[in-house]
Amino acid sequence: MSTIISPSLLAANFVDLKSEINMINRSEADWLHCDVMDGVFVPNISFGFPVLEAVGKICQKPLDVHLMIVHPERYVEQTARIGAMMMNVHVEAVTHLNRTIHEIHDAGMKAGVTLNPSTPVSMLEDCIEDVDMVLLMSVNPGFGGQRFIENTYAKIGRLRKLIAESGSKALIQVDGGVNGETAPLLAKAGVDVLVSGSYVFRADNPEERIHQLKNL
Ligand code: DX5
Ligand code: ZN
């Protein structure tokens, strides 16, 4: 199976969002990654549900929503309402993760759990069987265009081991600093889903970049 590509909307040109979504629709992208930031969990504010509702109306690719906010469990219904396929919550932001995962499933979405670069994979031991995807942050969340943290490769190995031992079917997603250099190494390391923001949207030909990532 080829790698699932989820370009990150954060790096898009917001003045011309419609053209950006049309480009995604035409491209080989599998999903659209949507970064919601609240200025509390991370030191930046991006966009919220009114924008995602509009995006969802014209985007033909499934929405992969990454919530970098405190108390993401309060927004399960709203995330479902915009038609999200996947809801990613940070383990650092949720107190009752088991309950939240079940609420996400009950709302008809896939459940993703996200780890910051310094949060160990062992945090997932008691929920890995219930989740559909684990998102490993390979930069400190909050901003696009940051440098990839090399420790991520070792972390992918630890996560693959945990998934294999538990019999979980969780996909592995990596987000942050994914570009022409890191993407082939990540695909080789067994990553199922690659998120890429600036490498795709800041290129002269974003569709070509998506094609390149899709055909590593
Ligand atoms: C960072 C976001 C990422 C970001 C990635 O906090 O979660 O999705 O858009 O951007 P690049 O690919 O530019 O590192
Ligand atoms: Zn993200």
Verify whether ligand 1 is closer than 6 Å to residue 120 (CB atom): no
Q: For residue 12, which phi and psi values (nearest 5 degrees)? A: -70, 165
Verify whether ligand 1 is closer than 6 Å to residue 178 (CB atom): yes
Could you give the dihedral angle defined by the CA atoms of residues 8, 103, 99 and 125, in that order, rounded to the nearest 10 degrees?
-50
Instruction: Tell me whether residue 112 is annotated as binding.
Output: no
Instruction: Tell me whether residue 105 is annotated as binding.
Output: no
Starting from the CA of residue 145, give the closest ligand.
Answer: 1
Tens digits of per-residue pLDDT, 55-112? 999 999 999 999 999 999 999 999 999 999 999 999 999 999 999 999 999 999 999 9
Verify whether ligand 1 is closer than 6 Å to residue 62 (CB atom): no
Q: Whose CA is nearest to atom 6 of ligand 1?
A: 141
- Side-chain half-sphere of 64: how many Cα atoms within 13 Å? 28
Q: Which two tokens stand for residue 79?
A: 């995330």
**Closest by CA position to 61, among listed 93, 27, 100, 35:** 27
pLDDT of 4 reads: 98
What is the C-alpha to C-alpha distance for residues 125 and 43, in angstroms, rounded to an integer?
Answer: 29
pLDDT of 1 above 90: no
Active site residues: 35, 175
pLDDT of 9 above 80: yes
Could you give the dihedral angle defined by the CA atoms of residues 85, 46, 69 and 39, in that order, rounded to the nearest 10 degrees?
180
Tens digits of per-residue pLDDT, 116-144? 999 999 999 999 999 999 999 999 999 99
CB atoms within 10 A of CB 162: 17
How far apart are the CA of 204 and the centre of ligand 2, in A? 22
pLDDT of 127 reads: 98
To test ligand 1's pocket by mutation, which of 5, 31, 34, 35 has the most ligand atoms within 8 angstroms of CB?
35
Q: Whose CA is nearest to atom 4 of ligand 1?
A: 144
Tens digits of per-residue pLDDT, 168-189? 999 999 999 999 999 999 999 9
Q: Whose CA is nearest to atom 10 of ligand 1?
A: 144
Verify whether ligand 1 is closer than 6 Å to residue 56 (CB atom): no
pLDDT of 86 reads: 98
| Superfamily name and number for 4-214 | Aldolase class I (3.20.20.70)
Instruction: Tell me whether residue 190 is annotated as binding.
Output: no
Tens digits of per-residue pLDDT, 15-70? 999 999 999 999 999 999 999 999 999 999 999 999 999 999 999 999 999 999 99
pLDDT of 170 reads: 98
How far apart are the CA of 36 and the centre of ligand 1, in A? 11
pLDDT of 206 reads: 98
pLDDT of 142 reads: 98
pLDDT of 50 reads: 98
pLDDT of 100 reads: 98
pLDDT of 169 reads: 97
Verify whether ligand 1 is closer than 6 Å to residue 66 (CB atom): yes
pLDDT of 63 reads: 99
pLDDT of 97 reads: 98
pLDDT of 101 reads: 98
